[in-house]
Amino acid sequence: MRTIVTTSHKPDPRSVAIAGWAAEVLNTEFVDRSRMSLDDLKIKCNTDNIMVVANGDIKLYSSRGEYFFHPSMSVPRIKAIRQGKSDHMVAAMALQPGDSVLDCTLGLGSDAIVASFIAGPEGQVTGIEAVPEIALIVKHGMANFRTESQPLKSAMVRIQVECALYEQYLAGLPDQAFDIVYFDPMFRHPRMKSSSMEPLRGIVKDDPLSPDAVREAIRVAGKRVVMKENSFSKEFARLGFNSIVGGRYSPVAFGVIEKRGQDYE
Ligand SMILES: C[S@@+](CC[C@H](N)C(=O)[O-])C[C@H]1O[C@@H](n2cnc3c(N)ncnc32)[C@H](O)[C@@H]1O
């Protein structure tokens, strides 16, 4: 279903400019809101998906709810890391300051923000997202999110967001272009209703990861390929992730394919 773009009833000039930019990026209509309610706009434009720009922020309204950018779980995770606690994703990546990470499934960006925090200014995190609406909101959100936390802000603004299919993006990269290639595909058996993903359920791309994509990721990774899934998922074995990192009682785990010292020719 197509997404249209509009503003609040009395938008400031910056919001109008952002809405125009969003409509151009999404190659869709910018609809003058006038005094119309969102329900009236949905009927008039025959769509459930409306992107609204208000006070410089972007919100997506779908039939399943509303989504706007928030760093969500990255905030307590970064706080815990700064207190010296471990993070399973960071451990699975064996992530070090200065590393480069290709996050093939950027989604709402939480994992990428944590990776960027650890990789630091000497490192580089690039996030790939197939769905243009999500890529746009997350890109705008990371660049403009208002926070007092400088480490969080710096981690977000350093992330390079690309709207693309990871299959195509990987194919265009040279061997060992990134230290770590990361996948967090939509779980084959969703664990529970995730409140932050719920408004996006009808929009996200939820195809399974393919063995071909994993092969390409191994070629592009200098150090490791990592995949997140349910702890007992058969996806790990199907795709060749033989080493698993995760807490004993954690519902999610991280499969690791270590590149160094192994022959993947
Ligand atoms: C479970 S979410 C990732 C959540 C993310 N790790 C986070 O911290 O918010 C998976 C995301 O990958 C995207 N995706 C799925 N297949 C893709 C593909 N082939 N190329 C690029 N993005 C893809 C989906 O649209 C979805 O937004």
Q: What is the pLDDT of residues 150-209, one digit of tens each?
A: 999 999 999 999 999 999 999 999 999 999 999 999 887 776 555 677 778 788 999 999
One-letter amino acid at 211 equals: P
Whether 87 is in a domain gets the answer: yes
99 with 197, same domain? yes
Centre a 10 Å sphere on the Cβ of residue 208 and count the other Cβ atoms it contains. Answer: 12
148 with 58, same domain? no
Whether 69 is in a domain gets the answer: no
Nearest-CA residue for atom 26 of ligand 1: 107
**Total domains, the chain:** 2
219 with 162, same domain? yes
For β-strands 252-258 and 124-129, DSSP reports them as: unpaired
> Would you state the structure tokens that stand for residue 38, as one six-digit string?
């969102």
Nearest-CA residue for atom 19 of ligand 1: 165
136 with 252, same domain? yes
Rounded Cα distance, 104 and 226, in Å: 10
Whether the pLDDT of residue 253 is over 50: the answer is yes
* CA of residue 225 to ligand 1 center, whole Å: 16
**Per-residue model confidence as pLDDT tens digits over 100-159:** 999 999 999 999 999 999 999 999 999 999 999 999 999 999 999 999 999 999 999 999
Which residues constitute the domain of residue 41? 3-63
Q: Quick check: CB of 130 below 6 Å from ligand 1? A: yes
15 with 47, same domain? yes
Q: Quick check: CB of 203 below 6 Å from ligand 1? A: no
Residues 6 or more apart in contact with residue 257 via CB below 8 angstroms: 214, 218, 221, 224, 225, 226, 240, 241, 242, 243
Cβ–Cβ under 8 Å, residues 221 and 259: yes
Rounded Cα distance, 86 and 25, in Å: 38
Rounded Cα distance, 207 and 60, in Å: 22
Rounded Cα distance, 117 and 78, in Å: 7
Nearest-CA residue for atom 4 of ligand 1: 107
